[in-house]
Amino acid sequence: MFGELLKGLQTTLRYMFRPPVTVQYPDVKRPVRERFRGRHELKRFANGQERCIGCSLCSAACPADAILVVPAENNLEQPTSPGERYAATYEINMLRCIFCGYCEDACPTNAIVLEHQYELSFYDRQTSIYTKDMLLVPPDQGHGEIPPILTQLGDKRPSPPAQIDL
């Protein structure tokens, strides 16, 4: 009656002498994989200008309606971003966001990127809304040259290119 029960005991005993597989989270942080979709970041170009041109395509692509973009006209002397407009307000509600990555796919200038930060916790709903200041990377962390199409300033400016139609 009890013979087969011993096999179970044997298994558990064997595991007792093996190292645990636990990653002791706050002390040890398992590096995420390269493609991991974590918290968003708003990128910059190498010269420090914001990549976001306020086109709201991310907002349109978002299945969860988590992104709010309010564009504004660039100051031509000191443009915030190349091109005509920039995002005056850029907010992502992290409680709504489902981290599907469609905003990243939709962005014509690769401004919004889902990066590797995954520790998102809030005390209330207000703080779950990430504003532009929180999302924007520091000016020295920009990369890439401004594509020529965005620098053709003038009256006959093209509308923002749609890299990926969505």
Q: Which residues bind another protein (CB under 8 A)?
A: 1-5, 7-9, 11-13, 15-16, 18, 20-22, 24, 32-37, 61, 63, 98-102, 114, 164-166
From residue 28, alpha-carbon distances to 18, 25, 36, 121, 127 in Å are 19, 5, 18, 18, 26
Between 31 and 154, CB nearer to another protein: 31
Task: For residues 20 and 110, give the distance between their C-alpha atoms in angstroms, rounded to a whole number.
Answer: 41
Q: How far is the CB of 118 from another protein (least distance, A)?
A: 10
Q: How far is the CB of 124 from another protein (least distance, A)?
A: 23
Q: How far is the CB of 153 from another protein (least distance, A)?
A: 30
Between 23 and 76, CB nearer to another protein: 23
Instruction: Supply the DSSP string of the chain, one letter for each residue.
Output: --TTHHHHHHHHHHHHTSPP----TTTS-PPPPTT---SEEE-B-TTS-BS-----HHHHH-TT--EEEEEEEPPSSS-SSSSSEEEEEEEEETTT-----HHHHH-TT--EEE-S------SSTGGGEE-HHHHBPPGGG--SPPPHHHH--STTPPPPP-SS--
Residue reference for tokens 């990377």: 137
Q: How far is the CB of 92 from another protein (least distance, A)?
A: 15
Between 34 and 140, CB nearer to another protein: 34
Q: How far is the CB of 164 from another protein (least distance, A)?
A: 8
Between 3 and 154, CB nearer to another protein: 3
Between 118 and 139, CB nearer to another protein: 118
